[in-house]
Amino acid sequence: MTTAALIMAAGRGQRLGGSLAKQYLELGGCALLTHSVSAFAKHEAVGPVRVVISANDEQTYRAAVSGLDLLEPVIGGAERQESVRLGLESLEDLAPDRVLIHDAARPFVSAEMIDRVLAALNQGPGAVAAVALADTLKRQAAATHTIAATVDRAGLWRAQTPQGFAYAEILAAHRAAAQSAGPDFTDDAAVAEAAGLTVELVVGDEDNFKVTTTDDMERARRLFDSRLGDVRVGSGFDVHRFGPGDHVMLCGLALPHERGLVGHSDADVALHALTDALLSALAEGDIGSHFPPGEERWQGADSATFVRFAMARLAARGGRLAHVDLTIVCQQPKIAPQREAMRARLAELLELEPGRIAVKGTTSEGLGFTGRGEGIAVQATATVRLPG
Ligand code: MG
């Protein structure tokens, strides 16, 4: 029994701003479409996966799915119904027993929901994920904002995807629909119904919503964030000695001082400790392993570069920064007067609200190298949340 999956990503009409079609907008460090496609590509019971795309999106598409084991994409048609038919036609050589059709714009499809649709397909030729209506339905009076009638909601469902079908039957149904004169069907279950196929309703999931509007995209981001359950704390520590100069770099700010800090880069000891804390939370090495101090190109480098690199690693893992905490140990310069400016600069650099950024200074009571004024030490902590 072979089950193929067709992921529909050819739509380009509705855009949520910018030039990217909504299925390529960023969600948790990758394209929205990557989540939808992965759910099928990684499901044990699903074999070949093909995505139907717009010709305009080919490059964006290839970047979004690199690393996933997929069939070559096919180019869709002018309307969704035609795009699905072209996708089904393209699978004819493979002749799968069953096909699951899913909208790329539903990124929260779960393996369990795919299982439920497949289980229903063991009983009949069609099955769709759907949610029973909970709200009372009102019909609006024409040209007013008043209610003309209350519609009985008993037995009414909202259809979602995936929708699964016996392959030969849904292909035949789509070919017949393409020949018929009527308006396009809005989903594949309707195509199947028109062909007389029995389609079973399978319990869907409110989280399996379709991202259509800007509000939907916000909801998707909130939902994704709420699922970041792998909380990690990383720590970093760095020391730089004083040398010739008239300022020190701390937290990205140049603070006038009678001496400077010695280092290969701009010697921002605070941003170095912070970079290590971020990389440690990800267990992805340390600043020295990514930016070897001997390399010419890091000579005098702005240490913000190192922080941005660590933040990009976090984004690539689909994670979020929750909190950072820096303790700067030195006799001079005084940290307290600079604290708010440092937090503001870190907020900008980390794209994090200041309420999640702590900066404090302490002396070491005249003891040790910091007490003798030989250098500055910084201890940093970062809390991150990763998927899982
Ligand atoms: Mg350093």
What's residue 18's pLDDT? 66
Q: How far is 84 from 348, CA to CA, in rounded Å?
A: 45
pTM score > 0.75 for this model? Answer: yes
Q: What is the mean pLDDT of residues 8-15?
A: 77
Residue 267 Cα to ligand 1 middle (Å):
6
Residue 264 Cα to ligand 1 middle (Å):
8
What's residue 28's pLDDT? 86
User: Strand, coil or helix: what is 361?
Assistant: strand
Beta-carbon neighbour count of residue 275 at 10 Å?
28
Residue 357 Cα to ligand 1 middle (Å):
21
What's residue 16's pLDDT? 59
What's residue 15's pLDDT? 55
Residue with more model confidence, 143 or 284? 284
Alpha helices in the chain (DSSP H): 32-41, 58-64, 80-90, 111-121, 167-179, 188-194, 214-226, 269-282, 287-290, 304-316, 339-350, 368-371
Q: Which residue has the tokens 């440690």?
A: 280
Contact between residue 166 and residue 121 where contact means Cβ atoms under 8 Å apart:
yes
**Cα 37 from chain centre:** 13
For the chain, domains (ranges, CATH) are 3-226 (3.90.550.10), 230-386 (3.30.1330.50)
**pLDDT above 60: residue 14:** no
Q: How far is 168 from 197, CA to CA, in rounded Å?
A: 12
Residue 232 Cα to ligand 1 middle (Å):
23
CA distances 289 to 293, 295, 306, 377, Å, are 9, 11, 11, 20
**pLDDT above 60: residue 203:** yes
Q: How far is 36 from 342, CA to CA, in rounded Å?
A: 40
**pLDDT above 70: residue 17:** no
Residue 249 Cα to ligand 1 middle (Å):
11
Q: What is the mean pLDDT of residues 92-118?
A: 97
Pull the structure tokens for residue 55.
């010709």
Residue 317 Cα to ligand 1 middle (Å):
25
The DSSP annotation for 259-307 comes to SEE--SSS--HHHHHHHHHHHHHHT---HHHHS-TT-GGGTT--THHHH
**Residue ranges with CB less than 5 Å from ion ligand 1:** 238, 272
Q: What is the mean pLDDT of residues 217-232?
A: 94
* Residues contacting residue 333 through CB under 8 Å, at least 6 positions apart: 248, 250, 255, 256, 257
Beta 126-132 vs 199-203: how paired, if at all? Answer: parallel
Residue 211 Cα to ligand 1 middle (Å):
44
